[in-house]
Amino acid sequence: MKAVILISGNGSNLQSIIDNADRIDLQISCVISNNKNAFGLKRAESSKIQTYIIEPELFNSKEAFDRELISIINQDGAELIVLAGYMRVLTPVFISNYFGKILNIHPSLLPKFPGLNTHQKAIDASEKIHGASVHFVTDKLDDGPIICQESVTIEAIDTAKTLSDKVLKKEHIIFPKVIHWYTQRRLKLINNITATLDGKIL
C-alpha cells in the first residue's frame, strides 16, 4: 500500500517505518516536511525517497498550506497518511479529505497529556506509568480513536530526556505494527468514531 509520511523533526519514527517497510507491505511515496531543517528529510533522501518541503511562511492561511499538502499527496495516489512527528495542527479541510486514512503517533497514554512537552508533564503529575499511543486522526488535537498503546515505567531518576528515549523505543515498535494492520486492511475506522481490528472494536 502506498503511503505519504509527514514529519517535522528528527524522524526516528520515519526511520523505523523505512526499516520495516518491506515487512509491513508499505511503499513510501514521499516524505513531506513543514520544516526545511528536519533531520528526517536526510533520512528519507538516504533511502532514495522523494521529499517535499512546504514552508508555512509562504502561505497566508493554515487552509492554504493544507491545500498545498493535499495537492502533493494526491499526485501519488497514497491510500494512507502517516503523521510521524508532524507538529502542525491539521485543518478540517485536510482531515475531511482523508478521514479514516490518517494515523498519528503521540508520546503519551492518551487521553492523558495531549499537546507538547508530554514527558515533563507526566513527571510533574507524578505519574508512575507513561507511554505512547497510535490513533486515527479526527479534527481535535491529539484526539481520535486509540488503536494501540504501549507503556513504560517512570523511575525516580527519569528526566524528560530519559523518558523520551524510553517512549521512543516503544513508538518504533508499535507504529510499524499498527501500519501493518492498516496495510493488511485489518484496521478500519467505522462510523467515523470507532477503530476496529478484524471487525472487533479496539
- What are φ and ψ of residue 129, in 5° steps? -125, 140
- Contact between 103 and ligand GAR (CB under 6 A)? no
Residue 106 designated active-site: yes
Start-to-end C-alpha separation, the chain:
22
Q: Is 123 exposed, middle or buried (0-12, 13-18, 19+ CB in 10 A)?
A: middle
Q: How far apart are CA 15 and CA 24, in angstroms?
A: 14
Binding mask 115-154 for ligand GAR (x = CB under 6 A): ---------------------------x------------
State which residue, 75 or 159, has the beta carbon closest to ligand GAR: 159
Could you tell me which stretch among 17-25, 64-72, 103-111, 155-163 binds ligand GAR (CB under 6 A)? 103-111
Using Cβ positions, the residue closest to ligand GAR within the complex turns out to be 85
State which residue, 13 or 91, has the beta carbon closest to ligand GAR: 13
- Contact between 11 and ligand GAR (CB under 6 A)? yes
Collapse the DSSP code of 93 into the 3-class scheme (helix H, G, I; strand E, B; otherwise coil) and give the result.
helix
**Cell numbers found for residue 79:** 491510500
Radius of gyration of the chain (CA): 16
* Enzyme catalytic residues: 106
Residues contributing to the site for ligand GAR (CB under 6 A): 9-13, 40, 84-85, 105-107, 142, 168, 171
